[in-house]
Structure formats: structure tokens, C-alpha cells
Structure 1
Amino acid sequence: MKENVIGTKTFKFSVKIVNLYKSIIDQKKEFVLSRQLVRSGTAKGALVRESEQAESRADFIHKLSIGLKEANETDYWLDLLKESDYISDLEHNEMKEDLGEILKLLTKIIKTSKST
């Protein structure tokens, strides 16, 4: 069976987000912004998983499109947490690199699915 690259990447990203969330609440005692990050940061993985059981191509595209929106929201929260000094430049850059790969993959999968 072929490896589900987007599924693997979004799951690993979700684990990193959960660990970053725990670090922020433990070390910085920040609970509002970090909760938004963990919500949007893990949602795309759940949506990718849901898309595996889509009822139709339209349903598949819809679920991944919502995942793409969640990825963009995660990008916002990462930038805000960095600019407000809740995460380091290193943490920010590492997460943004992973997120960039996910954004590209989701965009490509959605475009390909719409054209076939």
C-alpha cells in the first residue's frame, strides 16, 4: 500500500504542535493564544484523516479545503506567538518550515483533485 505522505506529515506536525502547546503553557503560562494554536494546528491532521473516508470527490476536496484553511490559521497563530515572545525564532522557523510543506501538499492535492 502506498504511503500517505500528507497523513504522515500532518500527524507528525500535530504531535509537534501539542508539544509546543505544552511548553507554552508550562513555561510561559499563556493559555488563550496557545489554545488557538493547538486547535488549528491539530485540526488539519484530523481533516486529512477524515478525507480518507470521504463519501465523494467533492467531500474529499471539501475536507482538505477546510484543512488548508486551518493550516493558514495555524500560520497566523505561529506568527502572533513569535511576535509576542511566547515562542523563540527557532521554534517558529521549524514549525513554519513544516507547515509550509503541508500547505504546498494540501494545495497540490486539492488542485489535482479538482482537475480530474
Structure 2
Amino acid sequence: MTQVSNKYDLEERTTVFAERIVDLCKRCPKNSVTIPILDQLIRSGTSIGANYCEANVASSKKDFNSKIFICKKESRETKYWLRLLGSALDDENLKQECRDLWKEAQEFNLIFSKIVSKKKVLNEN
């Protein structure tokens, strides 16, 4: 695969992830427990792709590194909110969807962690 198609694949993947987060949140019951969790999940889950798209058009290496680091942090935060939402839900199908999305967020976290660590190594040399 070329670098351009890799970039596109991750942009597409993070966008599809955000769409899945939005869809899940729309289908979840709204109550005093879930509303704040859903609000935070929407923010962090959609931020991953937005920041990755921004990183791909960054004006400097510093800007790129900053956006990728945000992607890493947001994917980690998204895992947290998905875990809490899953524990707050009664519907087994929604719980399973939270688990599936958690796995995808974990993969994003690993990807962005690897990019961040590679950038640190390159900057030290």
C-alpha cells in the first residue's frame, strides 16, 4: 500500500468509527446516568478522526505531532467512556456494541502511540 492510501484508510476508519459512535449514542436510553457519559463519548469519539484529518494537513512537524498526540489521548478517553456506558446499559446488544467499539478505540490508541513513539525517536536523533 502507498502512503497516500494508508492515510486515506486511517482517515476513513476514524470517520466510520465516529459515525458508529454517533449511531450508538442515538440508540442509547437517555437518563441521568447515561446523558453525561453519552455527551463525553460523542466529544472524544468524534475528536479522534477530526484531529487525524487536521494532522494530515498540518502546517509544521510540531503541529502534526500535537494533533497525533491528541488522537492518542482522545482514543484512550473514548475507551474509558465506552467502558462506563457499557456498564450503565441493560441492553446486551448495546453492551456488545460498546465492547466492539472499545476494541477499535484500543487499536487506534496503539496506532497513535506507535506514531508518537516513532516521532520521539526521530526527534532524539
State the TM-score, normalized to the length of structure 1.
0.87
Structure 1 partner of 2:76: 72
In the TM superposition, what is the alpha-carbon distance from 1:86 to its structure 2 partner? 5.9
> What is the Cα-based RMSD across aligned positions, in Å?
1.6
Q: Contact conserved, 1:64 with 1:106, CA < 8 A, in 2?
A: yes
Q: Contact conserved, 2:86 with 2:99, CA < 8 A, in 1?
A: no
The 1:78–1:86 alpha-carbon spacing in structure 2 relative to 1, beyond 3 Å, is farther
Structure 1 partner of 2:30: 29
Q: Deviations over 1:22-72 (max 9, x none)?
A: 111xxx124321111111100011000010111211111111111111111
Q: One-letter code of the match for 1:21? A: C
Q: Contact conserved, 1:9 with 1:102, CA < 8 A, in 2?
A: no
Shift >3 Å, 4+ stretches: 86-89
Structure 1 partner of 2:115: 109
State the percentage of identical aligned residues.
32
* Match 1:61 to one of 61, 65, 68: 65
Q: Contact conserved, 1:82 with 1:89, CA < 8 A, in 2?
A: yes
Larger RCO (CA within 8 A; separation ≥ 6): 1
Structure 1 position 89 matched with structure 2 position 90? no
State the TM-score, normalized to the length of structure 2.
0.81
Structure 2 distance, partners of 1:86, 1:54, is: 42
Max Rg structure: 2
- Runs of at least 5 residues in structure 1 that lack an aligned partner in the other structure: none
Structure 1 partner of 2:47: 43
Aligned length: 113
SS state of the match for residue 57, structure 2? coil
Q: One-letter code of the match for 1:76? A: Y
